[in-house]
């Protein structure tokens, strides 16, 4: 899949911006939507270095683009660019979906993630153990708390998780060791899987119906999901959330229902390891 520097971007209707952007699954996912719905639209991958969001979005608007998705490291800068934001974007200070005409922005990452939990029968009130305190955890912790999930958390560098708890979830229990006892979900937001590393989870301590959820996805199950499977625990990877956040973006832009199965097939066409928040 080709990508463009923003100054050299051709005309189009929608785009994902990020740096790097070449890994993004969004172009093939949205192309699959357009094919399925018979829309004659183009969705481009456009590299925008940090600090150039304002100029780049102005240029894309001139070229006729209607909206963009933002990925790492631009979600916070895009939030600042937006004239107005809706929903959770305001409190996490990050936007992944923009309407260029109105300057409005939303964040579909956390809502997309919450939908996947419900699709696996994990309802608000359930206890989720969050592993990792990076950007992904920062978006999901406040969203889960607001939705009514009970939270426990662990991070390799404990002080970072204590900071997140102080900011977003003062009642979240921060553990010294990963202990899945009493948890309906163990959610891996760390990038350990990218390096092929597992985490020391003793699955024998978890309920049998626990859901092992890795935000990463790739061609093979991650080390984290292999560990869960070896203990006969069910697992899900980040591709479901990736599809759901993309589907919610498309629906927010157009009001048309997104064809999720075609999108998931498109994600799995090429499967280098990546995260569900794109």
Tokens of residue 177, six digits: 């060791």
Point out which span in 60-68, 154-162, 170-178, 247-255 binds ligand ATR (CB under 6 A).
154-162
Site string for ligand ATR, 199-228 (x = CB under 6 A): x-----------------------------
N- to C-terminal Cα separation, the chain: 15
Q: What is the C-alpha separation between 80 and 152, in angstroms, rounded?
A: 30
Q: What are the Cα distances from residue 192, in Å, to 2, 82, 185, 263, 278? A: 28, 33, 18, 26, 16
The catalytic residue positions are 75
Member of 192, 211, 247, 266 binding ligand ATR (CB under 6 A): 192
> In 3D, which of 211, 263, 209 has the Cα closest to residue 241?
263
Q: What is the C-alpha separation between 192 and 198, in angstroms, rounded?
A: 6
Taking the least distance from each CB to ligand ATR, the nearer of 9 and 169 is 169
Tell me which residues in 125-144 interact with ligand ATR (CB under 6 A): 132-137
* 159 in contact with ligand ATR (CB under 6 A): no
| Prior bond of 73 cis (ω within 30°) | yes
Point out which span in 86-94, 184-192, 252-260, 261-269 binds ligand ATR (CB under 6 A).
184-192
b vs e for 250-274, b when ≥16 Cβ sit within 10 Å of the residue's Cβ?
bebbbeeebbbebbbebbeeeeebb
Taking the least distance from each CB to ligand ATR, the nearer of 103 and 111 is 111
Site string for ligand ATR, 96-125 (x = CB under 6 A): ------------------------------
Taking the least distance from each CB to ligand ATR, the nearer of 32 and 215 is 215
Q: Which residues bind ligand ATR (CB under 6 A)?
A: 132-137, 155-157, 160, 189-192, 195, 197, 199, 275
């Amino acid at each position: 899949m080709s990508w463009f520097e923003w100054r050299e971007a051709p005309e189009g209707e929608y785009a994902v911006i990020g740096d790097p952007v070449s890994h993004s699954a969004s172009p093939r996912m949205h192309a699959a939507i357009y094919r399925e719905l018979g829309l004659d639209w183009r969705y481009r991958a456009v590299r925008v270095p940090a600090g150039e969001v304002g100029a780049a979005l102005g240029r894309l608007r001139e070229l006729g683009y209607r909206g963009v998705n933002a990925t790492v490291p631009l979600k916070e800068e895009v939030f600042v660019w937006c004239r107005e934001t809706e929903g959770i974007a305001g409190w996490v200070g990050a936007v992944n979906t923009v309407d260029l005409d109105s300057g409005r922005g939303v964040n579909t990452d956390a809502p997309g993630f919450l939908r996947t939990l419900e699709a696996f029968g994990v309802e608000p009130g359930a206890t989720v153990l969050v592993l990792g305190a990076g950007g992904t955890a920062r978006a999901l912790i406040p969203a889960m708390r607001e939705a009514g999930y009970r939270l426990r958390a662990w991070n390799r560098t404990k002080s970072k998780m204590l900071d997140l708890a102080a900011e977003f979830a003062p009642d979240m229990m921060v553990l010294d060791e990963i202990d899945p006892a009493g948890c309906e979900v163990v959610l891996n937001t760390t990038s350990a899987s990218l390096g092929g590393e597992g985490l020391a989870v003793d699955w024998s301590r978890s309920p049998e119906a626990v859901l092992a959820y890795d935000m990463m996805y790739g061609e093979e199950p991650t080390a984290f999901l292999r560990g869960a499977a070896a203990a006969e625990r069910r697992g899900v990877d980040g591709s479901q959330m990736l599809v759901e956040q993309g589907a919610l973006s498309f629906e927010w832009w157009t009001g048309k229902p997104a064809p999720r199965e075609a999108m998931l097939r498109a994600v799995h066409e090429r499967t280098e390891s990546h995260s569900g928040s794109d």
